[in-house]
Chains A and B, each alone.
Chain A
Amino acid sequence: MSDTAISENAHDTAHDHDAHDHPQEKQYWVIFAILAVLTAVEVAWSYLGLTGPALVLPLIVMMLAKFFLVAGVFMHLYFDLKMLNGKYFTWAFAGAVVLAVIVYLVVFATFHFRFAYFG
């Protein structure tokens, strides 16, 4: 499908973009290897018998790393966000992630402060 015949309003490069800007297969394998290693480290970390923040914080960091790798590379979010020529629609998704995190963290905060106050 060629867009060349479409006149003034087709200011777009959506189709060739797929071909050039996305990572090569090799990069996918590399990302996958990183994900696999992260998962292994996560599981190992949970067996160290740590408690409290020492257990939770590294796990959260690794979880977020995995999240961003999958969303950023496999879902092309990183590439789409970087290309501002009409690709900013993915902000709708990125915005939803941020919104969800903030809203639900506030819910937990209200529960936390309620218990802190009322016991």
Chain B
Amino acid sequence: MTDVTVDQVVDHHDDHGGGHASSLGLSNMKLAFWLFLGSECLLFGALISSYLLSKTRFITEIIAGNPNVVSTMPAELIQEFQEKGSVEPMFDIPFTSLSSFVLLMSSLSMVLAHSAIVKGDQRNTRLWLGTTAMLGSIFIGGQIYEFTAFYREGLTFTNNLFGSAFFTLTGFHGIHVTGGIIMLLSLLFLSFQGKLNSSRAETVELVGLYWHFVDVVWVLIFTIVYLIP
């Protein structure tokens, strides 16, 4: 865009998504994205709160021996819950720690993808975008494995409060990760088509923001759900 008149620049200067007179001096897209993420905070806050409340109610009923609740899961598991006074026996901490670590790594590869595209380094952009998508997929794979393991052990979505709340919270997060993977793959596809040059760094940055946000939510879920049961 070097050979155009001033008028045309004014016509086009918002190609970065900057709107006509960007009052704050930043792109509309980026502003909108932050607003969206702000809204997501309230969403996940409500989900986490619902989980905590439901789990607390569940444990209270288990300890009180409410027959409606006790009958929903295998007796050994219920006994373990009662002994511990928590849902901790359900979780496989080493396994979940590993998948949390995988998701943390994907955040690193995401920032590396962004700094690569800022520099115009196509090869590394593709490498790190691909890595991020792959790590995200490993995480989702781990989640699917965990869900099936729970089903086999006798915790399902429908049998009690704890099951409903756990699968809803982690499932919502999993759907967000899956959405992120789709975005990453779309970027990778564009990159191979040669349409993802450094002028589109902001797009990578925005997908990155989303990805980190999802990661941060998992940081909260990992501690709140798994480590403090």
Q: Which residues of A contact B (CB under 8 A)?
A: 1-3, 5-7, 9-15, 18-19, 22, 24-25, 28-29, 32, 35-36, 39, 42-43, 45-47, 55-56, 59-60, 62-63, 66-67, 70-71, 74-75, 85-90, 92-93, 95-97, 99-101, 103-104, 107-108, 111
Contact = CB atoms under 8 A, between A and B. Distances in A.
B216 A108 contact: no
A93 B105 contact: no
Chain B's interface size range is 35 or more
A100 B199 contact: no
B71 interface: no
B143 interface: no
B55 interface: no
Contact of B223 (A35, A59, A93, A99): A59
A90 B34 contact: yes
Interface of A, helix, strand, loop or mixed by DSSP: helix
Given A11-B25, A36-B104, A89-B34, A6 B10 contact: yes
A17 B111 CA distance: 16
B212 interface: yes
Given A1-B1, A2-B1, A89-B34, A96 B42 contact: yes
Contacts of B111: 25, 28, 74
Given A1-B199, A6-B9, A97-B41, A36 B101 contact: yes
B77 interface: no
Given A1-B15, A5-B13, A100-B41, A89 B220 contact: no
